[in-house]
Chain A
Amino acid sequence: MSNVIGIVNYGVAGNIHSVQKAIEKAGGKVKIVNTKEELLAVDKIILPGVGSFRDAMEELHNKELVESLKEVVQEKSILGICLGMQILTSLGFEYGKTAGLGFINAEVKPMLVDAKVPHLGFSSIEVIKSNAILKGLENEEFYFMHSYEVVNYTDIATLTSYANHKFVSSIHKDKVYGVQFHPEKSRDAGIRLFTNFIEL
């Protein structure tokens, strides 16, 4: 069975290279996805994430990838990382309101916390409802780098505490997975998460 992981290239910065490096380290085969045809050809999809919600959605629209993602969401596993997790939701509030992909019924808002933002650093996760990509990782720490958080009441996989605030650190619904942290910056725990995703 072919098992090619497509990393969607959107936005100017992207941390595509570190995600690619980490997936290869986890034993995966990577294809960088720029077009609809490439998206349809890969087996699993990763939405990496650095940048703003609005720019990311604009770029996905420009590349005509929004509709294609909606077409394949039933058949292909999708993993959104950081901003990539945020755009899986219905609505973002960064630089004005922007509609997201709508796979998870939630909104993305500035972190409501009485502490320094962005939240940077390694934090642990509290499992609410485990899933296949978290297998064996319940007690690990992951690297966070974000100013916005996903606000939802369903499909929550884990929570994480920052100062006295608990926020959603990963989500899961059917074939859609999202992690607010950066597995590609989370040492061996991150590589294991990618291995779990490859093995889905």
Chain B
Amino acid sequence: MRTRIIAKLDVKPPYVVKPVHFEGLRKVGIPAELAKKYYDQGADEVFYIDIVASLYQREILFDTIEETANELLIPFAVGGGVRSMENFSKLFHKGADKVVLNTYALQENPDLINEAARTFGNQAVVVNIEAKKWDNHYECYSDCGRIQSEKDVLAWVKEVEERGAGEILLQSVDKDGRQRGFDINLAKQVVDAVEIPVVVSSGAGTLEDIKELIEYAKPSGVAIASLLHYDKLTIEEIKKYLRNDGIEVSK
């Protein structure tokens, strides 16, 4: 099975930013330009998360999304501040293939998952998990790791699967942006808990980190941000390394 290598853009319009621990934002580029660059490098997909829409309680900005979508002939997942079926429709209209949900489903109305999956198909509904580690469990957060939910990560991923989500984007509040390796135990627990694909993010610092994650947790995809934004590695280099080590990836 081929592990998908995905480029993740955390966007604070009009810029792609890179938060560390989801805070301390640094501007790294323009969404459409970076999306094109990673497409040319061989990304399997692009994830685009407007990381402030929910916090500012405004709608996601559609123009930037359309501009970015126009650069891509690969799947494009978009999220941030999504809270209605109208948001879903509009995002698909602007070129999204999948919509990523977190805050609203977690903190207010999980039924939106069911409704969206029924209407747009399971594969179009991705649930974003921001996991933070406590002594012996992980808790779901929202709004870039700012707001607690008191929901246990493993219970919540099973619930969203049951409700019809087609995929999970798993982020770690503790590891994000640090480039010091993934939380591979968290990843394995989540991958094993559900039947749907899990894309793991947060923590890639070296090629070995990515390989270790894939071999240990067997996620369906790995989402990379900082490593790419700072030109430490290209997607081509990552795929070549993994292929040489016997891990299947697309061309």
Residues of A within 8 A of B (CB): 12-15, 17-18, 21-22, 25, 50-52, 55, 83, 115-118, 120-123, 141, 143, 145-147, 162-163, 182, 184-188, 190-191
Contact among B69, B74, B93, B124 for A143, CB-based, below 8 A: B74
Please determine whether A18 and B95 come into contact, CB atoms closer than 8 angstroms: yes
Query: Does B196 reach chain A (CB closer than 8 Å)?
Result: yes
Please determine whether A162 and B250 come into contact, CB atoms closer than 8 angstroms: no
Ordered by A's residue number, 16 sampled pairs between the chains whose C-beta atoms are within 8 Å are: A12-B89, A15-B97, A25-B73, A50-B92, A50-B123, A50-B124, A51-B119, A51-B120, A52-B121, A55-B119, A118-B123, A120-B123, A141-B251, A145-B123, A147-B166, A185-B73
Query: Does B23 reach chain A (CB closer than 8 Å)?
Result: no
The chain A residue with its CB closest to the CB of B1 is: A163
Residues of B within 8 A of A (CB): 1-2, 4, 44, 69-70, 73-75, 88-89, 92-93, 95, 97, 118-124, 166-167, 195-198, 220-221, 250-251
Report how far A19 CA is from B151 CA in the complex, Å.
Answer: 39
Q: Contacts A13-B120, A162-B1: A122 and B250 contacting too (C-beta < 8 A)?
A: yes
Please determine whether B75 and A13 come into contact, CB atoms closer than 8 angstroms: no
Please determine whether A191 and B73 come into contact, CB atoms closer than 8 angstroms: yes
Please determine whether B196 and A122 come into contact, CB atoms closer than 8 angstroms: no
Report how far A154 CA is from B199 CA in the complex, Å.
Answer: 36
Please determine whether A117 and B195 come into contact, CB atoms closer than 8 angstroms: yes
Return chain A residues, CB-CB under 8 Å to B2. Answer: 121-123
Which of B92, B118, B121, B167 neighbours the largest number of chain A CB atoms within 10 Å of its CB? B121
Please determine whether A188 and B44 come into contact, CB atoms closer than 8 angstroms: no
Report how far A2 CA is from B89 CA in the complex, Å.
Answer: 33
The chain B residue with its CB closest to the CB of A14 is: B92
Q: Contacts A121-B4, A147-B123: A185 and B97 contacting too (C-beta < 8 A)?
A: yes
The chain B residue with its CB closest to the CB of A15 is: B97
Q: Contacts A122-B251, A191-B73: A13 and B195 contacting too (C-beta < 8 A)?
A: no
The 10 closest A-B pairs by CB, nearest first: A122-B250, A13-B120, A116-B197, A118-B123, A121-B4, A145-B123, A185-B75, A187-B73, A13-B92, A51-B121
